[in-house]
């Protein structure tokens, strides 16, 4: 099954070509604030459809991840890795997918604020 999602104004769209084994909710300082629920994948399994001029890219701290948001409606749609060892990893925010398509996928909770382990 392909999961399709978009920001609110649909200027940023994505297609996840796999069904993820689980979704991840992280409690780090940014994921908690944006309320993301991530589906991780290799970037070859994700198609991001947008004009780069519609994106706002945000990174901080160790600069290993860039969070990508729509500059028009503000929705955070995905992140991509800047880590040379994991450069093909990324995630899409499944809060941008119709709820009925993700309701049966298990959600795991990740402690990105402290221990960097799953806490469920």
Distance CA 33, CA 10 (A): 22
With beta carbons less than 8 A apart as the criterion, state whether 91 and 26 touch: no
Task: Specify the pTM.
Answer: 0.94
Strands 23-26 and 107-110, how do they pair?
A: parallel
Please give the structure tokens belonging to residue 112.
């990105």
Q: Which residues pair with 92 in a beta bridge?
A: 39, 78
| CATH code of the domain occupying 3-110 | 2.170.150.70
Domain boundaries, the chain: 3-110
Please give the structure tokens belonging to residue 21.
């084994």
Alpha-helical (H) ranges within the chain are 29-34, 99-102
pLDDT per residue rounded down to tens, the chain (120 residues)? 789 999 999 999 999 999 999 999 999 999 999 999 999 999 999 999 999 999 999 999 889 999 999 999 999 999 999 987 778 999 999 999 999 999 999 999 999 999 999 998
């Amino acid at each position: 099954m392909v999961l399709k999602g978009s920001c609110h104004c649909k200027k940023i769209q994505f297609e996840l070509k796999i069904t993820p084994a689980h979704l991840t909710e992280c409690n780090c300082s940014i994921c908690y604030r944006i309320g993301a629920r991530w589906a991780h994948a290799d970037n070859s399994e994700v198609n991001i459809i947008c004009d780069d001029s519609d994106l706002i890219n945000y990174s901080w701290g160790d600069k290993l991840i860039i969070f990508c948001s729509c500059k028009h409606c503000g929705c955070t749609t995905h992140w991509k890795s800047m880590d040379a060892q994991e450069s093909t990893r990324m995630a899409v925010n499944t809060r941008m997918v119709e709820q009925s398509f993700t309701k049966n996928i298990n959600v795991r909770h990740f402690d990105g604020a402290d221990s960097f382990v799953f806490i469920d």
